[in-house]
């Protein structure tokens, strides 16, 4: 029969009066008190928990280190992909430039001038592709120059139906579901239209055997990102009221690994030569720069839905007809109009001066902001200031314009820039009478803009009237 020791038994760990064991000193109240066992148990548990907590902290640090290494690896891979894609595309385009120039030089030496037009066309096409590539990269980095205006999505979609049907072809059915009460949004309508057309083209490519595409517009309200109702993929958006533009297809769909990389520049699942991998990255950058977001939902074998979220705007919509320049031919001569060109790059400055002089403008020139301001602070009449944004010597184009307007508040200003224009000119938030053009631009586009700014009531000179069939090359 086993003996159960009670609290009154001699030698019990809970006995307050048991005699001390041999070689054991007198017990203190702390060692023999009624809570001694509990204290020892708590101490043991505390020690275990302390060690476990230390291990958890060590594991968290290690996990964070591993995640950091993984993120760095992903960033390195993305940078490698980006630089590799840039090098490939730019080298190809530079080859087209240099090859055309070499052949033009050779043909001129041989007296075969009739062959020059073909090489000029090749160089001009390459220049256009470089322009498109640079704009795509600026869009991805959210640093392109935008022209935000109040835009109605329904009117935008209806105005692009013909272009979308042409892009899809006869084997794909297009359906539009437009919310009649959809609000306006403040964005660059031209860029949004381009984004919509790119999404439609992607949907077409995902349906080689045909299918259907649905374009939808709607109003939406996003809850606080901390609430359970908040969509994890939209956590980057502020809670509030939005309009949505969705493109849904019945194509092949995308696996999760492709969806998470879909916005990376130069990432593409298309065959070599079938896509540059910049379409979705450009759309994402443009929408994020417009304070919106892009969401992709896809299932393999079912299809893909891409939804653009843009903040609602309570302002008045811009009249789309007012944005279309009337092609009214003006007299070539512009007697009495004075244009000041401030550009530090001598090749570009000389081209601008020559072109504007041929149109009859009196052209003044300056190499930097301070020399330009000296002219503007004088009594010389100036109708239009054309200023590069990235001027040297401590005064950029915007600073020059602001300083000039203190003396000439009605001065018209046209900024031209190959720099990140959104930073220098206020991301589209410019004063009345200020416009901006991104380099490289066609000279007929420049002259049309100059005419519009110096003759706002009469329109612009048409391309064919001034330059004929052969348009001048882009500026570098």
The pLDDT, as a whole number, for residue 7 is 43
- Structure tokens, 425: 């000119």
Residue 315: asked if its preceding bond is cis (omega within 30°), the reply is no
Q: How many CB atoms lie within 10 A of CB 125?
A: 13
Q: Are 413 and 387 in contact (CB under 8 A)?
A: yes
Tokens of 206: 């995902």
Terminal-to-terminal C-alpha distance of the chain = 104
Return d(Cα 321, Cα 155) in angstroms, integer. 12
CA Rg value for the chain: 34
Q: What is the dihedral of CA 43, 47, 49, 51, to 10 degrees?
A: 180
Among 240, 237, 243, 244, smallest CA distance to 183 is for 243
| DSSP state, residue 427 | T
pLDDT at 413: 94
- The reported pLDDT for the residue numbered 176 is 92
d(Cα 369, Cα 342) in Å, to the nearest integer?
A: 7
Side-chain-facing half-sphere of 30: CA atoms under 13 Å:
1
CB atoms within 10 A of CB 426: 13
Task: Give the sign of the dihedral formed by CA 265, CA 266, CA 268, CA 270.
Answer: positive
User: Token pair of 385, please?
Assistant: 């200031």
Task: List the chain pLDDT tens, one digit each, 476 residues.
Answer: 444 444 444 444 444 445 555 555 555 555 556 677 777 788 888 888 888 888 888 888 777 777 666 666 655 565 555 566 666 667 777 777 777 888 888 888 888 888 788 888 888 887 777 776 666 666 555 455 666 788 899 999 998 888 888 888 888 999 999 999 999 998 888 888 888 888 898 889 889 888 999 999 999 988 765 444 445 556 667 788 899 999 999 988 888 877 777 776 555 555 444 444 455 777 887 888 888 888 889 888 889 999 999 998 876 554 433 333 322 233 333 446 899 999 988 888 888 888 898 888 989 999 998 899 999 988 888 999 999 888 887 888 888 999 999 999 999 999 988 765 555 555 555 678 888 888 778 888 888 999 999 886 544 443 333 333 344 444 44
Angle, CA 467 vertex, CA 465 and CA 471 arms, to 5°: 135
Comparing CA positions, the residue from 304, 278, 283 lying closest to residue 294 is: 283
> Nearest Cα to 217, choosing from 242, 189, 187?
242
Report which of 337, 446, 341 is spatially closest to residue 386, judged by C-alpha positions.
341
Give the number of other Cβ atoms within 10 Å of residue 309's Cβ. 21
319: three-class secondary structure by DSSP = coil
Sequence-separated (6 or more) residues with CB below 8 Å from residue 121: none
How many C-beta atoms lie closer than 10 Å to residue 316's C-beta? 8
Place of tokens 């401590």: 394
The conformation of residue 360, written as its DSSP 8-state character, comes to T
Strands across the sheet with 412-417, in order?
362-366, 338-342, 384-388, 412-417, 434-438
**Are 461 and 425 contacting, i.e. CB atoms less than 8 angstroms apart?**
no
Distances in Å between the alpha carbon of 309 and those of 178, 191, 219, 243, 292?
15, 14, 9, 6, 5
Structure tokens at 242: 């939005």
**Reduced DSSP (H G I as helix, E B as strand, rest coil) percent helix, strand, coil of the chain, to 5:** 45, 15, 40
């Amino acid at each position: 029969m086993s003996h159960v020791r009670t609290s009154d038994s001699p030698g019990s760990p809970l006995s307050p009066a048991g005699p001390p064991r041999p070689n054991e000193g007198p017990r203190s109240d702390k060692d023999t008190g009624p809570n001694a066992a509990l204290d020892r148990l708590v101490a043991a548990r505390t020690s275990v928990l302390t060690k476990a907590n230390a291990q958890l902290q060590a594991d968290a640090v290690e996990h964070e280190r591993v995640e950091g290494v993984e993120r760095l690896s992903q960033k390195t891979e993305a940078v490698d992909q980006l630089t590799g894609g840039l090098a490939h595309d730019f080298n190809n385009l530079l080859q087209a430039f240099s090859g055309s120039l070499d052949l033009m030089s050779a043909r001129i030496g041989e007296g075969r001038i009739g062959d020059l037009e073909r090489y000029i066309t090749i160089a001009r096409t390459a220049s256009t592709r470089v322009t498109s590539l640079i704009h795509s990269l600026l869009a991805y980095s959210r640093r392109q120059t935008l022209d935000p205006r109040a835009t109605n999505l329904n009117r935008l979609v209806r105005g692009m139906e013909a272009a979308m049907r042409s892009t899809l072809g006869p084997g794909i059915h297009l359906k539009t579901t437009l919310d009649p009460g959809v609000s306006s949004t403040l964005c660059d309508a031209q860029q949004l239209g381009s984004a919509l057309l790119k999404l439609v083209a992607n949907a077409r490519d995902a349906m080689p055997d045909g299918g259907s595409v649905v374009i939808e517009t709607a109003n939406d309200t996003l809850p606080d990102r901390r609430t359970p109702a908040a969509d994890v993929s939209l956590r980057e958006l502020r809670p509030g009221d939005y309009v949505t533009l969705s493109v849904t297809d019945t194509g092949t769909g995308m696996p999760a690994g492709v969806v998470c990389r879909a916005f990376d520049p130069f990432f593409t699942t298309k065959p070599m030569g079938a896509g540059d991998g910049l379409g979705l990255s450009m759309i994402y950058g443009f929408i994020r720069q417009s304070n919106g977001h892009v969401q992709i939902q896809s299932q393999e074998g079912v299809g893909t839905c891409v939804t653009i979220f843009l903040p609602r705007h309570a302002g008045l919509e811009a009249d789309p007809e007012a944005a279309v320049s009337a092609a009214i031919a003006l007299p070539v001569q512009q007697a009495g109009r004075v244009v000041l060109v401030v550009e530090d790059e001598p090749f570009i400055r000389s081209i601008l001066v020559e072109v504007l002089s041929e149109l009859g403008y009196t052209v003044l020139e300056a190499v930097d902001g301070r020399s330009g301001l000296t002219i503007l602070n004088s009594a010389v009449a100036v109708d239009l200031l054309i200023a590069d944004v990235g001027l040297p010597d401590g005064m950029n184009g915007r600073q020059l314009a602001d300083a000039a307007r203190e003396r000439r508040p009605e001065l018209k200003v046209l900024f031209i820039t190959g720099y990140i224009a959104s930073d220098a000119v206020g991301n589209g938030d410019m004063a009345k009478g200020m416009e901006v053009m991104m380099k490289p631009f066609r000279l007929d586009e420049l002259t049309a803009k100059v005419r519009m700014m110096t003759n706002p009531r009469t329109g612009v000179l048409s391309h064919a009237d001034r330059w004929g069939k052969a348009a001048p090359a882009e500026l570098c």
